[in-house]
Structure 1
C-alpha cells in the first residue's frame, strides 16, 4: 500500500523537480544577462586597474629603467625606500600633514556648504559657483593664486597686509618652507568642492520633508537637531563615499603642490608622495623604485579606505 502511494506521488515530485530546475535555469539566465551587461566595465576595470596594479607590484621587486629588461632585486627597493631615502620620509610627513589637515577640512567644508546651499532658493546657481573650481585645471587656477600669494609687495595678500600695517616687509609665501604647505592647503580647499560636494547635495535633496515634519512632532526643535537625528543617519552612503573620495584626493595631491612650490620645492617643504613617485618614474626613469612608491601608496590608501568604510558603513547599506 505504501509503495503504491509512493509511486502515485512520483509524477508530482517529478513535476516539482522540473519546475525547480526551470526556475533555477531562469535565474541562471538572468545572472548571465547581468554579467553580460557588466562585462564592458569589468573588462576595462581589469585591463586598466587590476593588471597595472599587479604589474606594479611585480616591478616593485625589480630594477627597471625602460631600456633594459627588468632585473629581480627582491626587497632592495623597499629597504632603500624606508631606510635610506630621507626625502621619501619627508614626503610621507608632508602628505600626512596635508591629509590630516586638508582632508577633514575639505570633507566638512563640502558637507557644510552643501547643507547651507540646500536651504537656499538659488541652489543650482550656488552649486555651479562652488563646483566650477573643481573642474578647472589646477595649473590655470594656480596662476590666480600665485598672484594672490606673490612674494613681492605687489602680490594681492602682501599688498593688503602692508597697507594695513600688519607686516613690515613682504612674506615669501611660495618660497618660504614654513608657509608653502599652508598655501597648498588653502588652494586645495578652494578646489575641493567637487564630486563629494555634489554627492552631499544630492543626498540632502533625497531626504523626505515628511521626516522633518515627523521629527518636529516628536520634539526636534532646531536645524542642528534635524541634522544630527535625521539627516546624517540617512546620508551614510553619501558620507561614506565622500570620506573615501577625500582620502584618495588628500593622498594624491601633486599638481597644485608643483604649481605653487615648484619641483622640487624649497627644502622639499611641498614634496609629497606623488611628487616623489613622479620624480623617479618620469624624470629619473627608475620605474622599479617608482613602483615600490606606488605600491606603498596603494596599500596605504586602501587600508585607510577600508577603515573609513568600517566606521561609516552599517548593515542597512
Structure 2
C-alpha cells in the first residue's frame, strides 16, 4: 500500500493542509504569503455578500439534489438489477450515459433558449401558455430550478454504478434464510437484507453524491454564465474559481475552500451515522 499512500499524501493530504495554512495569509502568487490571522474568514462572513448568496445557493442545491439523486440512483439500480443480464447492461448504459456525455449542456441550452426557437418557449407559445418568449437563463427566478433539474438528470453517475455492483454481490441465500426467519415481503428484504449487505457501496455512493452536490460549478457556469444574473446561480465553488483563478487572491480562495471542506466533512459524518442505522 506504500505507493498509494505516498501519492495520496502528496497529492491529496498535503494540498489540503497547505490550503488551510494559506487561508490565514494574504497571498497573491507574486509575493511571499503574509500571515493575517482570521481576516480572510472575517471578510468572508461579514463583508462578502456574494459569498453568503453562494453559501445559500449551495446549501439549497445540496439539500434538494443530494437526497433525491441518492435515492434515485438506488431505486433505478434496484429496478434494473431485476432485469435479465443483457437488458440490464443496456439499461445501465442508457441511464449512465448522460453523466459521461461530453457536450451535454448544449441540449439544455437548446431547450431553455430565450428566443422563439428554444424548445421550451416553442412549446409554450404553440399551446398558448405564453405570448412572448421567456428568458429562462437570464431570469433570476428560473435559473436555480433549471440548474437543479439538469443536475438531477446528470446524477446517475458513479454512485449508480456502485449500487448496481453492490446489488450483484448480495448473497442470494440470505433471502432464503430471511424467509425462514419471518421476512414476508420485498420491503422487509430490502431493509433487513439488501441494504445492510451493501453498506460499503451505500457509503461510497453517499460520498459521491455529497461531493457532487456541494461542488457544483460546471452546470452553473455552462447554463447561467460566469457570473450569473444577480449571482442567482453563484455557488461556493464558482466563488472559489472567481478569487482563485481570476483574481489570484489565493489566501482568500483558500479560506473559501476550507469552509467548503469543513461542510463536506460534516455532511459525510452525519450520513455515516445515519447509514449505520440501516437494517436496525
> TM-score range, shorter-chain basis?
over 0.9
Of the two structures, which has the highest relative contact order with CA contacts closer than 8 Å and spacing of 6 or more?
Answer: 2
Match of 1:263 among 214, 221, 226: 226
Match of 1:157 in 2: 120
CA distance in 2, matches of 1:220, 1:268: 52
Q: Is the 8 A contact 1:240 1:313 kept in 2?
A: no
Match of 1:313 among 251, 262, 276: 276
1:220 Cα deviation after fit? 4.1
Q: Is the 8 A contact 2:196 2:278 kept in 1?
A: no
Q: Deviations over 1:159-193 (max 9, x none)?
A: 12222333333222211111111111111111111
Q: Is the 8 A contact 1:237 1:313 kept in 2?
A: no
CA distance in 2, matches of 1:219, 1:315: 18
Match of 1:94 in 2: 57
Match of 1:178 among 116, 141, 144: 141
2:90 pairs with 1:125: yes
1:271 Cα deviation after fit? 0.3
Match of 2:42 in 1: 79
1:119 Cα deviation after fit? 1.1
> What is the TM-score when the length of structure 1 is the normalising length?
0.83
CA distance in 1, matches of 2:172, 2:277: 23
Match of 1:252 in 2: 215
Match of 1:23 in 2: none
Check 1:204–1:80 CA distance in 2 against 1; reply closer, same or farther (3 A cut): same
Q: Deviations over 1:30-89 (max 9, x none)?
A: xxxxxxxx1111111111111111111111111111111111111111100010000000
Q: Deviations over 1:186-216 (max 9, x none)?
A: 1111111111001111111112233333444
Check 1:315–1:268 CA distance in 2 against 1; reply closer, same or farther (3 A cut): closer
Long gaps (5+) in structure 2? none
Q: How big is the alpha-carbon RMSD for the aligned residues of Structure 1 and Structure 2?
A: 1.8
Match of 1:193 in 2: 156
> What is the TM-score when the length of structure 2 is the normalising length?
0.94
Question: Aligned residues, how many?
Answer: 277
Q: How does 1:1-317 map to 2 (within 5 A)?
A: 38-121=1-84, 122-137=87-102, 140-313=103-276
**Larger radius of gyration, structure 1 or 2?**
1
